[in-house]
Amino acid sequence: MYKIIRRETFSDSTFLWEVLAPDVANSAQPGHFVMVRLHEGSERIPLTVADFDRNRGTITMVIQSLGKTTIEMRDHYQEGDSFADFVGPLGMPQHVGKVGHVVLVGGGLGVAPVYPQLRAFKDAGNRTTGIIGFRNKDLVFWEDRFKAYCDDLIVCTDDGSYGTPGFVTSALKEVLERDKPDLVIAIGPLPMMNACVETTRPFGVKTMVSLNAIMVDATGMCGSCRVSVGSEVKFACVDGPDFDGHQVDFRELLLRQRRFNVEEAKASEDYAH
Ligand code: FES
């Protein structure tokens, strides 16, 4: 069993779990993810590592309650509770080196997995610009953590209730025009990553994205997380989840992501009643 040693609520739907898992924390790198299973019979869900602390032996994840399992996590698992399985770290870590000026873009929940990448790129000697975007002021989190590692930080809200009004892509375009970076990292919902990739494409700036493809086994066997990258078929769970965004077929991926919509809606509805 794995214990939740800290739980923090960011909003009605967003919360943090810090889980005691020393072996996972020892080998975690930015870009890795973990698979969580709450109990016998529950589904396994992939969560990107938002932070790791080798001294405390913990892994931190930021979770949004969108479907049956994440709603169960929000409503029934508190600080001190334990759950059945925690497997990781999985996937390939982000390649972190000294490249110059790195812009790290996080959208909504994607802000969390961007954070360890920001820290690693800063520690590697890069100049860092952070762009983090939320729907509104109430959903903003980790601004302080980002400030600690960003040379420049732009906080955007879609409704203009805090920081710079508008989407992260507008802020990204301004940075590209003013102070062209050497690398962009973008993590968030698929349409947001797609929009970031199309924003950087005309500028020819390499843009890495983290693909939250639907995963089942997370071992490269089932094919569920298949993505087309360039002319190749890749599996997000073992080849990714980080890929060169300019090579990713987002149109195909967006279609594949919708294939379980009906079943997911039914599972959430059944759980609610
Ligand atoms: Fe099954 Fe990736 S989740 S191949």
pLDDT at 115: 95
Domain shared by 79 and 9, yes or no:
yes
Categorize the per-residue pLDDT at 100 as very low, low, confident or very high, splitting at 50, 70 and 90: very high
pLDDT at 223: 86
Domain shared by 242 and 111, yes or no:
yes
Q: What is the mean pLDDT of the chain?
A: 91
237 lines ligand 1 (CB under 6 A): yes
Domain shared by 16 and 147, yes or no:
no
CA of 258 to the centre of ligand 1 (A): 16
| Mean pLDDT across 69-96 | 92
β-sheet with 164-165: strand ranges across: 164-165, 152-157, 127-134, 101-107, 183-187, 207-210, 242-244
Residue 238 in any domain: the answer is yes
Q: What is the pLDDT of residues 101-126, one digit of tens each?
A: 999 999 999 999 999 999 999 999 99
Domain shared by 54 and 116, yes or no:
no
Domain shared by 209 and 132, yes or no:
yes
Q: Of 4-8, 62-66, 164-168, 200-204, which gets the smallest average pLDDT? A: 62-66
Domain shared by 160 and 80, yes or no:
no
Which of 33, 215, 243 has most ligand 1 atoms within 8 Å of its beta carbon, as the pocket-test mutant? 215
Domain shared by 164 and 253, yes or no:
yes
pLDDT at 255: 86
Which of 237, 256, 260 has most ligand 1 atoms within 8 Å of its beta carbon, as the pocket-test mutant? 237
Alpha carbon separation from 227 to 32, 45, 65, 93, 109 (Å, rounded): 18, 18, 25, 18, 21
Q: What is the pLDDT of residues 216-235, one digit of tens each?
A: 888 888 888 899 999 899 99
Q: Of 10-24, 68-82, 202-216, which gets the smallest average pLDDT? A: 202-216
Q: What is the pLDDT of residues 146-197, one digit of tens each?
A: 999 999 999 999 999 999 999 999 999 999 999 999 999 999 999 999 999 9
Range of the domain at 75: 2-90
Domain shared by 118 and 210, yes or no:
yes
pLDDT at 256: 79
Domain shared by 146 and 231, yes or no:
yes
Domain CATH code at residue 53: 2.40.30.10
Domain shared by 113 and 243, yes or no:
yes
Domain shared by 121 and 224, yes or no:
yes
Q: Whose CA is nearest to atom 4 of ligand 1?
A: 220
Domain shared by 28 and 108, yes or no:
no
pLDDT more than 70, % of the chain:
94
Closest CA to 112 of 11, 258, 259: 11
pLDDT at 246: 97
ipTM exceeds 0.90, yes or no? yes
Residue 262 in any domain: the answer is no
Domain CATH code at residue 122: 3.40.50.80
Number of domains observed in the structure of the chain:
2
